[in-house]
Each structure stands twice: as C-alpha cells, then as structure tokens.
Amino acid sequence: MPTTPTPGRGRRGVAVHGEGAPQQGEDWLAEEAPLELRYNGRPFAVMMATPLDLEDFATGFTLSEGLLAGADGIRGVAVQALLEGWVVDIDAPGVAVPGDDAARLLPGRSGCGVCGSRRLEDVLRPLPSLPAGLRIEAQALQRALAQLQQRQPLNAATGAMHAAAWATVDGRLRHVREDVGRHNALDKLLGALVREGADPGDGFVLVSSRASYEMATKAARLGVGLLAAISAPTTLAVDLARDCGLTLVGFLRPGRQVVYTHPQRLVQAPP
C-alpha cells in the first residue's frame, strides 16, 4: 500500500557530496503516485499526484474540467489505496465516460493539465463571462503572499510542492492545498471551497507557479475573478483572461505585481 510515515512525503536514503568524504543520510521527498480517476466505475484518466485531499481533488477536477456544472451532481467519492497506486471513483451519473477508443487514456503527468485530451476542441473550450463586481485592494495580494510560505508545510519539508491558496478580498488566506502538480493543487483548492459551500468568486486565488492557460481556465470555470501567480503567465492565458473577464496577475513578489488583464478589479487603499 502506497503509504509513508508522514502523509504526502517520505524519507529516502541519500549520499551528500561536498568537501571531504560523502555523508550518508536521509532526505524528505514529496510523495508522487499514480491516481486513477473513475466515473461510475469506468476509467477516465490516470494522473500523477500527491495522494492527499483526494475528495477535494475529485470534486475540483470534475468541475474545473467542465464534466459537471455543479457539485450537486456528485453523489459520492470513494478512495482506495492499491499496491500500484490509488483509485478515486466518483459517483456522478451525469458524467458520461466515452468508450475506450475516445476516452482520455493518456496519463496526466504532474506538470500537465491537459495530458490525455485527444482533440483540440476538448482543450480550447469557450468560457462564460465572469461578473465584474469583485473589487480587491491591491495590497491584499501582498498580504496573501506574505502568509503563503508559512502555509506550505510539505514544501518546507521537501522543496518540491506547488501550492494553491484562496484568500478573502482583504488578503486573509482561508484555504491552501499542496501537490507535486500545480494543476492538482488548484483542483484540490477549488474542490475544498465547493465542498465547504464557499463561493470561489468571493475572493481570489494565489498560485505558487506560472499561470498557464489550463490554470486560468480552471479558475475561471469556477467563477474566480482574480488569479495571481508568483511566476509568469503565458500568452494564451492572457488571451483567455482578457476574453472571459478574469483579472490575471503575474510576478507577484514582495512590493511588486504585474497586472495583465482587467486591472479595474484592483483598487488602491485610501490613504
């Protein structure tokens, strides 16, 4: 069974080379395992992920991929650990899994959000326009960023985890999820919000990675009005954000951030 002494991480032997003789020791490493997603007992995709918060992941993945319009279509999630990895079976009668000749049969690697999608129209799907009402103080992004590092225990131990966080409009972090895959971390976060009954559009999302097209798509599909990334966005992510009304922020660093689309959502605090 793929378990470790501490969930999400495991120790492995290492030899540290530097000055003098190599030193033998152990290192904490991020846990990465194959995760088979099934809908109603039928295989849909195999993802590489950190096997934590899998109910959140199943919910977020289902909604952010547009397989269901709402979480009320998910009747239950069953998680099973096997020798080879993990199986997550989502009971969702409204999801029709195609036959084996058309299914998403390729694996979804840790760094890939659309691996296994076999047609262009499956990837470049239009999104509804986001409402324009959200207003966030620009300094709130800095407050959220200042809290993020302390809310990433697995990354602190392993140095190999991405994080996705949701903050209120004043910059208080409410939820953080970690995973070796940036898309997985975001799906876990969105799933946690939906399962709690929170509206993702009432705050903003901060990710410790680049803002790719897939990340922007997942956020926008769940109604997130502002996505902030520590790294850069891609051209396609900017185009998508501009078209659907998503405020996209990149290079979020202490004292600095770059706004690529819809800057009207960010307001300056009064003096």
Pairing mode, strands 136-137 and 23-30:
unpaired
Q: At what angle do helices 182-196 and 54-64 cross, to 10 degrees?
A: 90
Pairing mode, strands 33-39 and 42-49:
antiparallel
Which tokens go with 120? 């262009």
Place of tokens 């904490």: 28
Residues 44, 69, 124: CA angle, nearest 5 degrees: 65
Exactly one of 30, 37, 49, 112 is catalytic; which is it? 112
Cβ-Cβ contacts under 8 Å for 245 (sequence gap 6 or more): 129, 130, 131, 132, 225, 262
112 part of the active site: yes
Q: Please identify every residue annotated as catalytic.
A: 112
